[in-house]
Amino acid sequence: MTLDLNDPALEFNDLVYAYQSWVMAVINDEKLEGEEKLLNDDITEDALNAMRFLPGEVTSAIETCLARVYDVDAEELALLLFPED
């Protein structure tokens, strides 16, 4: 799924889904050592576009919830998602 930010049918939940998919792909690839890598350029691009429109509270809530579900330290997850910060 590639987000079309000009699509009038684009909804808030599409943005949440894009960001959530990226976080889950990073966790899978970096922490769960899955056989198949999930992260790709489309997922990353969609997440970065979604971040432009999602409030920080929403992205933080997604990260916190998924860190708990996958038993990943929240600070470690932040470093995986944003290594340059």
Collect all residues with Cβ–Cβ distance below 8 Å to 45 and sequence separation of at least 6.
2, 3
Each residue's pLDDT tens digit in the chain (85 positions)? 578 777 888 899 999 999 999 999 999 998 887 788 999 999 999 999 999 999 999 999 999 999 999 999 989 999 999 988 6
Model-level pTM?
0.88
Measured between alpha carbons, how far is 33 from 35 in angstroms, rounded to an integer? Answer: 6
Residue boundaries of the structural domains of the chain: 12-81
